[in-house]
Structure formats: structure tokens, C-alpha cells
Amino acid sequence: MQFRGAYTALVTPFKNNQLDEEAYRNLIEWQLEQGIDGVVPCGTTGESATLSHEEHKRTISVCVDQVKGRVPVIAGAGSNCTSEAVDLTRYAKEAGADAALLITPYYNKPTPDGLLAHFKTIAREVPIPFFIYNVPGRTGLNVLPDTVARIFREVPEAVGIKEATGNLTQVSSVIEECGPDFTVLSGEDSIVLPLMAVGGHGVISVSSNIVPNMMHSLCKAYMDNDQEKAKKLHLEMAPLCRAMFFETNPIPVKTSLALMKKIELELRLPLVPMQEKNQARLKEVLQNKKLI
């Protein structure tokens, strides 16, 4: 199976309100050196909601160019407007991405029939493997297992899902209904191990921006049937996974990378820097893990 293991949902470094290409390339290269299994540009963690289409496309191009085929690239290309999603997905394919990550349409909250039509249209216009991105906390829409299975059956390009409900019962039902050929990746860092235990295949991770080797090692240990090592890494990373959500993602992870001297700390409105009390808590966690 191509898409398995730890994939980093990359931050988008900015400098003077522009893509900091040098920092971005350096971050990607470090991720590869640390053994990450794949990367995901232009997702939620990459502040895709505030990227212009030109910036979005440039960010994907830089990522694909830097990776140079060494690991799979799953490019964020979704939208709540089907025609926009088609355009972004077409660009991702032309740029050389291996797959697309397509968020369920947010705000307009389509019915199951509408979801199927949305994904069918994208796949018809741009035949590239894609992952459904189910994150009801941000979209207001939860794609239930029977709808996921329907999409999987009727849209061959739908190869998997990023499941960010945090609901293991729902994850288990998706795996039960879709079978082992459908790739289920966690969208919640804190439940990677239990998700793999019920048949999942890895994670699209926020925390692996700062600890790529640990998240890769957790997934590999589980796949190698080293349960004790996987459990040990799960528990070691637990404080970091919690810390990445002291405030809205990607505020804590970008703050962490800045403290680690990997990027400049620059967020785009409406995101703002962490409150001092939360930043102090974050620093304590990073210091305890010897990351700063």
C-alpha cells in the first residue's frame, strides 16, 4: 500500500506576508532526513484558507519540487465550491502530486447525494487518487461510514480518508464497511495508535512538523508488530500532541517551529499569536521534550 505511515501536514512559513520559500524547502528537507513517510502541503495546518489560489499553487509546486519523488505528496486541493476544487486538484496533478486531499464542502453542508456528486465531478474532471478529509469540527458536516463506503464504491479515485472526528467507533465502522483496500489515516495525533489498532494505516499529523521521526517510528513500530515500542512512543508524544492544540491549529505548531529556529513566527489573520500563558505552557512541554 502506497499511502501509509506518518504524513506531515506541513505548515506554510511566511515572511513579510509572502511564502518563505527557503524556510519551506529547509523544513521539507529536514522532514525527509528525519524519516517522514510523506508530506501534505496546503491543508488546514498550512493555512490554506488564507492562501490565494496563486499562493496555493506555488506552495504545492515548491513542495513537489523539493521532495523530488522521495516520498508521496498528498496536496490539499479541496474547496466548498466544486469548480474551485476541480481547478486546484487539476493543478496539483499537473504539478506532480501523488494524490489530493479533498475537504468535505464546508458551510454549504451538502447531503450525502451532494457529497457523492461533488467527488464524482472532481474525479471525472481530474482522475487522480484522493483522500476525503472529514473534519466536522471545522466544516459542520460529518461524513458517516455508509456515505464514505458509497463514495469508495462509486468513485475509484477515492483511495482513502483523513478521519478527524476522533471517534474510534466511527473509524472502525468505516474500516468495516470499506475493507482493507481503503486507506484510513488519522486526523487526530492523539489517537494514531488506537486507530491503527482497529485497522487504520497511519496519520496526517500536525505534531510531526516538530517530531517527524517519533511519529514515523510510532507508525513503523506498529506495522512491524512491535507493540511495546509503539505504545512507548504514543505515551511519549502525548504531551506534545495535546500542546499542539493549546490554541487553534496551526498557532501552537508554528510557534513551536519558531522556537526551534525552523521558521519565522508569522501567522495570517484571523489567526494571531498565542496568549502569553499558553505560550509559557507550550515552552514548558517543548523544554521537557528537549526540543528547545
Distance CA 246, CA 39 (A): 23
Q: Strands 158-163, 130-134: parallel, antiparallel or unpaired by DSSP?
A: parallel
Q: Strands 14-15, 5-9: parallel, antiparallel or unpaired by DSSP?
A: unpaired
> 218: which residues sit within 8 A by CB, 6+ positions away?
6, 192, 193, 230, 233, 234, 237
204 is in an annotated binding site: yes
Annotation marks residue 162 as catalytic: yes
45 is in an annotated binding site: yes
Among the listed residues 7, 24, 57, 162, the single catalytic one is 162
Q: Letter for the amino acid at 86?
A: V
Place of cell 519551506: 24
Annotation marks residue 109 as catalytic: no
Among the listed residues 133, 220, 222, 254, the single catalytic one is 133
- 38 within 8 A of 53, measured Cβ to Cβ: no
Prior bond to 72 cis, omega within 30? no
Annotated binding site for pyruvate: 45, 204
Active site positions, annotated:
133, 162
